């Protein structure tokens, strides 16, 4: 009874969340409703989010070189090699290793991830990083690839594999983070060999194929 009145009170909010990026099937009884998902609610949200993203990317694509755009549309990623002169790169490496802000940590399975959020405050003592993240071509790429008219959150990140004896790190099993298009970027300060868990991406998995849509549909109505 208590739960029901809470759900009725929160109904407007649950409804609004359908049109946002909420993804929890547990906390929103509409998004997680088996009958609605059997009728296609989740699949509908997947399709609409991809259509909206197409429009957003189109409107932010004007200054992006054709080859990069094509790579992102078809493969789902863009690789930029040697984007900085050596002295600027060395300065960024130096700033990264000497940055002294609050570190946030999380452990998933046997992996430790440490992050320093590059907020406005600590960007003031990391001028090289700040300049790099404000470079016109980089900002344009951020906006185009994320479909947002602002820069993404940035962090200095360290990943320590096999840090503790624990379960398998779930991030090392291929997965999709969420149902709607999303963007992440990495700027590597050192080469990452195949032996130290390099980032892995399934080429073309950005595209909403019929097979993917069927997978989304089945996954969500069978396992809400």
Q: Is 127 helix (H, G, I), strand (E, B) or coil?
A: helix
Among 85, 87, 177, 191, binds Fe ion (CB under 5 A): 177
Binding residues among 119-158 for Fe ion as defined by CB under 5 A:
none
What's the CA angle centered on 126, arms 68 and 79, to 5 degrees?
Answer: 15
Residue 85 or residue 177: which is nearer to Fe ion going by CB?
177
Helix (H, G, I), strand (E, B) or coil at 116: strand
Residue 186 makes contact with Fe ion by CB under 5 A: no
Min dist CB 150 to Fe ion, Å, is: 22
Residue 184 C-beta: closest distance to Fe ion, Å? 8
Sequence-distant (6+) residues with CB within 8 A of 54 are: none
* Contact flags string 46-75 toward Fe ion, x per CB under 5 A: ------------------------------
Stretch that binds Fe ion, among 53-61, 173-181, 203-211, 213-221 (CB under 5 A): 173-181
- Residues in CB range of 218: below 8 A, 6 or more apart: none
Angle between helices 66-74 and 136-146 (to 10 degrees): 30
The continuous run of DSSP H or E covering 67 comes out as: helix 66-74
Q: Which stretch binds Fe ion (CB under 5 A): 131-139, 153-161, 171-179, 189-197?
A: 171-179
Cβ closest to Fe ion, residue 22 vs residue 68:
22
**Closer Cβ to Fe ion, 39 or 196, answer by number:** 196
Q: Which is nearer to Fe ion, 165 or 200 (CB)?
A: 200
Q: How would you classify the pairing of strands 155-160 and 104-108?
A: unpaired
Measured at CB, which residue is nearest to Fe ion? 177
Render 169-218 in DSSP notation, one character per residue: -GGGS---S-SS--------SS---GGG------TTTTS--HHHHHHHHH
Residue 84 vs 159, nearer CB to Fe ion: 159
Residues in touch with Fe ion (CB under 5 A): 177
């Amino acid at each position: 009874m208590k739960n029901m009145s809470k759900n009725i009170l929160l109904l407007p909010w649950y409804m609004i969340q359908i049109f946002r990026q909420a993804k929890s099937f547990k906390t929103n009884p509409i998004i997680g409703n088996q009958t609605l998902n059997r009728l296609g609610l989740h699949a509908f949200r997947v399709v609409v989010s991809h259509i909206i993203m197409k429009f957003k990317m189109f409107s932010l694509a004007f200054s992006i070189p054709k080859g990069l755009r094509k790579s992102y549309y078809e493969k789902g990623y863009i690789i930029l090699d040697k984007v900085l002169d050596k002295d600027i790169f060395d300065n960024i490496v130096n700033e990264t290793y000497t940055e002294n802000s609050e570190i946030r940590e999380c452990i998933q399975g046997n992996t430790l991830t440490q992050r320093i959020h590059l907020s406005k405050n600590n960007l003031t003592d990391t001028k090289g990083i700040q300049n790099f993240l404000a470079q016109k071509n980089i900002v344009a790429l951020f906006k185009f690839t994320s479909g947002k008219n602002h820069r993404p959150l940035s962090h200095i990140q360290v990943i320590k594999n096999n840090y503790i004896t624990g379960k398998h790190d779930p991030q090392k099993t291929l997965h999709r983070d969420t149902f709607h298009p999303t963007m992440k970027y990495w700027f590597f300060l050192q080469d990452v060999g195949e032996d130290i868990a390099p980032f892995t991406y399934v080429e073309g998995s950005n595209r909403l194929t019929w097979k993917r849509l069927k997978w989304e549909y089945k996954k969500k109505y069978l396992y809400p």
